Amino acid sequence: MRIFICCLLALLALPAAAQLTETFADGNFTQNPAWTGDAAGFEINAQLQLQTNGPATTGTVQQLATASTAANGATWEFYANLKLATSSGNYADVWLLSEQADLKGAGNRGYFVRLGGTPDEVSLFRKDATGSPVYVVNGRDQSLSSTTNNLARVRVTRSLADGWTLEVDYTGTGQSYQLEGIGEDNTYLQSSYLGVIVTYSSSNNRSFLFDDFKVTDRQAPGLVRAMPTAARQLDVVFDEAVSETQAAGSYQLSGGPAIISATRDAQNQNVVHLTLAADLPTGANTLVIRTVADVFGNVLTGPFNLSFTNSGFAISPGVNQLLITEILADETPVIGLPASEYLEIYNPTANILNLGGIRLLKPGSNSNPAIFPATATLLPGEYAVVCGSTRAEQFAGTGKVFGVSNFPSLSNGGDQLVLRAPAGQTLFEIRYSDTWYKDAEKKEGGWALEMIDTANPCGGIENWTASTDPSGGTPGRANAVRTANTDSRPPALQRALALSATSVRLYFSEKLDSVAASNSALYTIAGNTITRVAAVSPDFRVVELTLGTALQPSQPVTMSVQRATDCVGNATGAAATATVALPSVAVSGDVVVNEILFNPRTGGYDFVELLNRSAKYINLQGWQIGNEKPDGSVDAASISSEAYVLAPGQLVALTERPDVVQAQYPTSSEPAAFLELADLPTFPDDAGIVTLYDRTGAPLERVPYSAKQHLAILDDVNGVSLERIRAAGSNEAGNFHSAAGSVGYATPGRRNSQLQEDPTGTKLFSLEPEVFTPDADGQQDFTTLNYTLDQTGYAASVTIYDAQGRPVRKLVRNQTLATSGFVQWDGLTDQGRKAGVGVYVLHIELFRPIGGDKREYKRTVVVGARF
């Protein structure tokens, strides 16, 4: 929102200055002014109107454009008649501001009036370089309801404060204008062209008529502010583009040094740079301005006095010198704050910050960034609210407010936000989550997240919490939760990853000092050289290295980091090392499902843990994990669009919300082993099938699961995962068991609580352990009958008897066996009850259908209990 100096009230009314008038009275559109584009698709008819005459082909798009630089403080008028029934395939766009002569260009930007379309309306839109057009003023639906004669004389006015007004006279006479709506948008401040573009079906190639184009600038330029930018440099900001030719004599400092030059900015034509003969005095100053014209010749005659204070000139912020310190992502229910999403920014430095051109954006989104206006500044220690341009008035009592176009929509559950300098440098980055509230009630809405210590800008969840202010937040002032919360931990090297034979990425536990991290002298790699180092934006948790010699597949080498410094200056002591290798091609069985949580606790999320049980380094990029449905179809999701390499024996836990899973299993999860998925398939709570596919779509893994596999003595299996017992074992139900209660019933990213190493030796049948305690504490919860057979073709039946010879459990019935494997007994009877403490006998019947060979064996096991 622009700030206007009170002296502007003294401006005299100026006559309207028409910048473009086109009535086609000369019978052509090729001169005075010249229109260019699809000239063959238009003609001047007998009534001296511009009429379409393009190919009679459905889907045809025709355009004409002419030069027009009016962008602010202007009025656009034109006549149109659409002699057809408007629809999604029959409409006209009249561009008021366009960057390109090619109105159809995908990257064109500006504003246009649409007549027709699906709503059969007249509306004002903004078009960005990417994405669909967005409404500035949404006109009334069905206002163009005729099937043969839709008259509309349109008038659009843009004030110097970026307020838009859309009026339409549906009689076409210009005597009966109706207000269609108002809006506010300051995204584009310059224009090069005006034009028309039509889309039609085959029968409507001659159904569009246009006339009486007129663009009028009614106002002389107004003053916005004077802003010192250096000891002898002063910028004057106007509310519209001024003429390129500037005279130093038009500007004078009362009682101050002489002004020796005045130059219009090459990019922002609203700004004039003044060069002074001596240093600008500190304190109060007055600039006298006279005879300054806009680009259309409207003159600010003056003299006008513009007062300003030189308390130091504004400088561009560096990294972490402009902070986001408060976030309201969920504005409902209203606790006491305005019902609007907002951010709070803060200047922690001793300098005035120039925010002009700084961009606020969400990385990865298709939306355009919000851009701070050229006049925006932030004083030392000052806070300001940032919100959507139409919401600024709601925060009028909070202090400084920046209402910006394209304010990003803030997701309630979490988002990534970045402040970026005009040249592209990342100034501040944050990836918040609703777990940062640390309060189940407040995260439901109406409360803001607040930074605890502004001297710890990279602290993440440890340095953010829900506001304690009774209103729900503290927009525009110091945070209610403000206190010292120093970060004293150095960053840790978590893993190294080979992106290619000559490119390696290092991943750290927190944000790094991007300059220090780019020092190549800090890194070594065994038997190789490093030719380039770059910290990866926007969060700088990753450093990318370019190697001089190519790595070989699955041949590990050691990577060393001598010193790593986080963004607040904490540095590691001893060197950190990591192993890295170029990945090899995976085959079925290399990577297996090691653990699955399909029935999470309330508020929890599913996860699937994968294990690389091969000797290879395997890249999961492009792989998919899926849920196979009963009809055979698969609901699949991408695991990673970027390289993610599993080393031999390495685990990775896949989930949509690592933060939630880690919070629910704080002592039995490994944060470094989590990989966040945007959309993990939903796995049914009763039974399902987990599938895994490589980047070519080839199936690698298929694991059926069921809630019946859980230990029957558990009263509640919600939040209990199924763990693989033996890494090298099969995917059969007998190789999975409920995670132990002693570890919280799940171990995402960590060694399975029920993991059992494969037995050694050549004994035909053996029990491990021979004494077990089935109490779900993770200590000998079950026993396994292990076998190694002398040949194939055997089947087996196993029955368990108690000490009195009574059958307790029919464990196996006529089951075909592999040459080696195991059978699990969880200590339960056939009735699902826990077997009593005592000695039990496993009666094993082994037979071969071919040949009739039959053998019998007995093994003894003890069911115990802990006291």
Model pLDDT, residue 77 = 97
Domain assignment present for residue 757? The answer is: no
- Return the structure tokens found at 835: 């077997």
Domain assignment present for residue 759? The answer is: no
Note whether 535 and 608 are same-domain residues: no
CA–CA separation, 408 vs 371, rounded Å? 11
Mean pLDDT over residues 746-765, rounded?
A: 79
Quickly state the pLDDT bin for 152 (edges 50, 70, 90).
very high
pLDDT of 476 over the 80 cut: yes
Domain assignment present for residue 477? The answer is: no
pLDDT of 193 over the 60 cut: yes
Last residue of a domain, one of 450, 466, 482: 466
pLDDT in tens, 482-526: 999 998 889 999 888 898 999 999 999 889 998 899 999 999 999
Note whether 685 and 772 are same-domain residues: no
pLDDT in tens, 516-557: 999 999 999 999 999 999 999 888 999 999 999 999 999 999
Model pLDDT, residue 2 = 33
DSSP letters spanning 535-581: EETTT--EEEEEESS---BT--EEEEES--BBTTS-B-SS-EEEEE-
CA–CA separation, 479 vs 615, rounded Å? 52
Model pLDDT, residue 14 = 36
Domain assignment present for residue 471? The answer is: no
CA–CA separation, 79 vs 211, rounded Å? 5
Note whether 576 and 595 are same-domain residues: no
Mean pLDDT over residues 339-345, rounded?
A: 97
Residue 607's CATH number: 2.60.40.1260
Mean pLDDT over residues 276-284, rounded?
A: 92
Last residue of a domain, one of 531, 548, 580: 580
pLDDT of 11 over the 80 cut: no
* Cβ contact 543:505 at 8 Å: yes
CA–CA separation, 605 vs 595, rounded Å? 14
CA–CA separation, 278 vs 287, rounded Å? 15
Note whether 703 and 796 are same-domain residues: no
Model pLDDT, residue 753 = 85
pTM higher than 0.75 for the full model? no
pLDDT of 613 over the 70 cut: yes
39 compared with 770, residue with greater pLDDT: 39
Model pLDDT, residue 4 = 32
CA–CA separation, 691 vs 702, rounded Å? 5
pLDDT in tens, 650-704: 999 999 999 999 999 998 999 989 999 989 999 999 999 999 999 999 999 999 9
Note whether 187 and 49 are same-domain residues: yes
Model pLDDT, residue 9 = 29
Percentage of the chain beyond pLDDT 90 is 66
Model pLDDT, residue 763 = 66
pLDDT of 631 over the 70 cut: yes
Note whether 444 and 544 are same-domain residues: no
Domain assignment present for residue 113? The answer is: yes
3-state per-residue secondary structure call for 335-350: CCCCCCCEEEEECCCC
Number of domains into which the chain is organized: 6
Last residue of a domain, one of 580, 602, 631: 580
Note down the domain range covering 520.
493-580
Note whether 35 and 127 are same-domain residues: yes
pLDDT of 115 over the 60 cut: yes
Quickly state the pLDDT bin for 239 (edges 50, 70, 90).
confident
Average pLDDT, the chain: 90
Host H or E run for residue 516: helix 514-517
pLDDT of 16 over the 60 cut: no
Quickly state the pLDDT bin for 359 (edges 50, 70, 90).
very high
> Chain-centre distance of CA 400, in angstroms?
27
Model pLDDT, residue 775 = 83
Residue 525's CATH number: 2.60.40.1220
Model pLDDT, residue 758 = 64
734 compared with 85, residue with greater pLDDT: 85
Mean pLDDT over residues 355-369, rounded?
A: 88
pLDDT in tens, 442-452: 999 999 999 99
If 0-12 CB within 10 Å is exposed, 13-18 middle and 19+ buried, where does residue 324 land? buried
Residue 812's CATH number: 2.60.40.4070
* Cβ contact 596:722 at 8 Å: yes
CA–CA separation, 74 vs 754, rounded Å? 74
Mean pLDDT over residues 598-612, rounded?
A: 96
Note whether 336 and 401 are same-domain residues: yes
Q: How many residues belong to the chain?
A: 867
Secondary structure tally for the chain: helices H, strands E: 2, 63
Domain assignment present for residue 859? The answer is: yes
Task: Report the half-sphere exposure of 86 (CA within 13 A, side-chain side).
Answer: 25
Helical spans, DSSP H, in 631-739:
658-664
Mean pLDDT over residues 20-28, rounded?
A: 94
Note whether 182 and 54 are same-domain residues: yes
Note whether 722 and 793 are same-domain residues: no
pLDDT of 12 over the 60 cut: no
Domain assignment present for residue 315? The answer is: no
Model pLDDT, residue 6 = 32
pLDDT of 339 over the 90 cut: yes
Model pLDDT, residue 759 = 62
- Return the structure tokens found at 720: 């209990």
Note whether 669 and 576 are same-domain residues: no
Quickly state the pLDDT bin for 17 (edges 50, 70, 90).
very low
Model pLDDT, residue 762 = 52
Mean pLDDT over residues 294-314, rounded?
A: 88
Model pLDDT, residue 760 = 56
Model pLDDT, residue 617 = 93
Mean pLDDT over residues 74-102, rounded?
A: 96
CA–CA separation, 449 vs 337, rounded Å? 13
Note whether 796 and 698 are same-domain residues: no
Domain assignment present for residue 331? The answer is: yes
